[in-house]
Amino acid sequence: MIRILIWFSLLLHGSCLFASDLEVGRGKGFSTLQSAVDKAKPGDRILVYPGTYEAINLKIEKPLTIEGKDWPVLDAKGKDDGIAILCSDVTVKGLVIKNTNRGSLKDYAGIRVFKASNIVISGNQLINAFFGIYLSDARNVHVTNNKLKGEAPDQSSSGNGIHLWQCANSVITGNHITGHRDGIYFEFARHGFIEKNVSEKNHRYGLHFMFSDSNIFHNNQFVKNGTGVAVMYSTQIQMLHNDFAENWGGSAYGILLKDIKDSHIRGNRFEKNTTAMYVEGSSRVKVDSNRFVSNGWAVKLLASCQQDTFTCNNFIANTFDISTNGTLYMNYFQQNYWEKYDGYDLNRDRNGDVPHRPVSLYSLMVEKMPFMIFLLRSFIIDLLDTSERNVPSLIPENIVDVTPRMKELELND
């Protein structure tokens, strides 16, 4: 038994000795990255020194670490992908990858991962790539601390920054994405953890995902994107402590939820969006401890929603706090703070003694006749809302917070 253990330890030690560093650069062992990749053995590390190197669909088909020193540039010269990772156990870090091809027949990418697992893509810069980082049929991929800058003039000529299709157990953290069609895109991607990313000034969505269950989005920033964030056809989504801000436009949202079930939206900041939250066909979604500040519409909750709950949220300085297109049943509002609430608290339990009805008659009129928005801030609308609050007859009776908070809630970050 002892001999077997000694033999195994020697074998393991010997295998480590076979792994070596290969150097690419002027005066180094290799003048091109391709030649170093061809020569490398599984487990080797390739160090790439400053300079500009051609990287046209550079295929990685063996376990390697490719590490840049002082930002070497890999240029695809507008011809194809940059790097294609086609096997497991690969690390790529510290590189500048730029100028992929563009086209409608293939989703060209700065870094492509296909049918691989245990991949690390960390600390890279991707510039003027059609798609930045494209993961397909991948497992256990870590995409961390990369900067992605798209340079296409519009969404029709741009791909997504970080794109996942049919992936599982992905970790997407600390990335900065701008100038792409969608900053982060998920489709059929499950059990992902997405944290501390900044997705801003993208042509369409800062985040867009569909058919992607059991994902956690924590402490991200989605700011000034063309149409905000869209989350569709998914279950068990957790969106915690994110910022959705300054997404302005006729069809722009802080977040759009469509056919979402059994999910939790907690501790987020929705500020200065045309519509902070648009909810359609959702059920059993918990919305609590969020801040809705200075939005056009804080929440548009359509009549197709059921069993959604809004508790302990702050609604401050929004043009409309809640709007709907019909009669809502089985959706609940409890202990929210409404800046527009003008009730009283005689027993001093910090809850209003009079229920608050957050849907105004004017908001219903605007929903049915959008041109009515031109009457905003007019005396006749103030008079209409005051009359309706005193003698409610046309606003939905079942959209009511029976325990509105008297003071703004202190929400944990």
CB-CB contact of 362 with 319 (8 Å): no
Whole-number Å distance between alpha carbons of 65 and 207:
30
| Contacts by 233-236, CB closer than 8 A, 24 or more apart | 233/258, 233/259, 233/260, 234/209, 234/210, 234/259, 234/260, 234/261, 234/263, 235/260, 235/261, 235/262, 235/263, 236/261, 236/262, 236/263
pLDDT for the residue numbered 358: 86
Q: What is the Cα 118 distance to its own chain's centre?
A: 22
Tell me yes or no: is domain 57-390 CATH 3.40.50.1240: no
Q: Residues of the chain whose pLDDT is less than 50? A: 1-18
Whole-number Å distance between alpha carbons of 157 and 160:
10
Query: Greatest CA span in the chain, whole angstroms?
Result: 94
Whole-number Å distance between alpha carbons of 166 and 151:
27
Nearest of 91, 145, 81 to residue 119 by alpha carbon: 91
User: What sign for the dihedral angle of Cα 299, 301, 302, 303?
Assistant: negative
pLDDT for the residue numbered 249: 85
Whole-number Å distance between alpha carbons of 108 and 126:
13
pLDDT for the residue numbered 18: 37
3-state secondary structure of 330: coil
Tokens standing for residue 241: 């402590």
pLDDT for the residue numbered 1: 45
Whole-number Å distance between alpha carbons of 74 and 33:
9
CB-CB contact of 188 with 211 (8 Å): yes
Angle at 276 between CA 272 and CA 277, to 5 degrees: 175
pLDDT digits 0-9 by tens, 146-186: 999 999 999 889 999 999 999 999 999 999 999 999 999 99
pLDDT for the residue numbered 173: 98
268: DSSP letter: -
Question: What mean pLDDT value characterizes the chain?
Answer: 89
Cβ contacts of residue 22 below 8 Å, gap of 6+? 29, 30, 36, 39, 40, 44, 45, 46, 47
The domain spans of the chain are: 57-390
Tokens standing for residue 258: 């469509």
Nearest of 293, 260, 253 to residue 277 by alpha carbon: 253
